[in-house]
């Protein structure tokens, strides 16, 4: 929350015209999105970031093993096709390995503007609710 508040103050301090031009800028430094995984949720600290480098710092706050998959898709989070007990990873741009409780994995990706869905794709976890919409740019 502290980081969000600081970012809002910066935005407020910059004149409107400058804000508009900086919105299209592909940042030299990565935007950090802290993300928690648990049964049965994927909870990013931000739901929207500028296009460019994004570092997901993903913590497993649950009791089971999870993974974290980033998909670029216009489909709604709950509408991905299912194959067996997993979501079909259409438009996948990155993923972590499966990792255990209380562990953290970092995933740095260069993301284009568009709609994304963040999921855990351990069998049955996507269907149980481990999915969320995410937006880049625009
Ligand atoms: Cu999971």
Pairing of strands 131-136, 48-49: parallel
User: pLDDT value at position 28?
Assistant: 62
Burial 51-81 (b: 16+ CB within 10 A, else e): bbbbebebbbbbeebbbbbbbbbebebeebe
User: pLDDT value at position 24?
Assistant: 47
Task: Give yes or no for residue 114 having a pLDDT over 70.
Answer: yes
Mean pLDDT value across residues 49-68 = 98
Cα-to-centroid distance, 26 and ligand 1 (Å): 31
Q: Which domains does the chain have, with CATH numbers?
A: 26-136 (2.60.40.420)
Q: Note the pLDDT tens digit of each residue in 11-55.
A: 444 444 344 344 445 546 899 999 999 999 999 999 999 999 999
Cα-to-centroid distance, 70 and ligand 1 (Å): 13
Provide the pLDDT confidence category of residue 65 given band limits of 50, 70 and 90: very high
Cα-to-centroid distance, 137 and ligand 1 (Å): 27
Cα–Cα distance, 134 to 82 (Å, whole number): 20
Cα–Cα distance, 16 to 57 (Å, whole number): 31
Whole-structure pTM value: 0.80
Cα-to-centroid distance, 33 and ligand 1 (Å): 18
């Amino acid at each position: 929350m502290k980081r969000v508040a600081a970012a809002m103050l910066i935005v407020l301090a910059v004149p409107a015209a400058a804000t508009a031009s900086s919105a299209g800028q592909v940042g030299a430094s990565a935007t950090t999105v802290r993300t928690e995984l648990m049964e049965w949720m994927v909870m990013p600290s931000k739901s929207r970031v500028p296009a460019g480098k994004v570092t997901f710092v993903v913590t497993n706050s649950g009791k089971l093993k999870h993974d974290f998959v980033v998909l670029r898709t216009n489909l709604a989070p709950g509408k991905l096709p299912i194959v067996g007990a997993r979501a079909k990873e259409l438009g996948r741009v990155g993923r972590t390995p499966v990792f255990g409780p209380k562990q953290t994995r970092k995933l740095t990706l260069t993301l284009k503007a568009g709609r994304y869905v963040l999921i855990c794709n351990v069998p049955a976890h996507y269907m149980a609710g481990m999915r969320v919409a995410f937006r880049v740019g625009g």
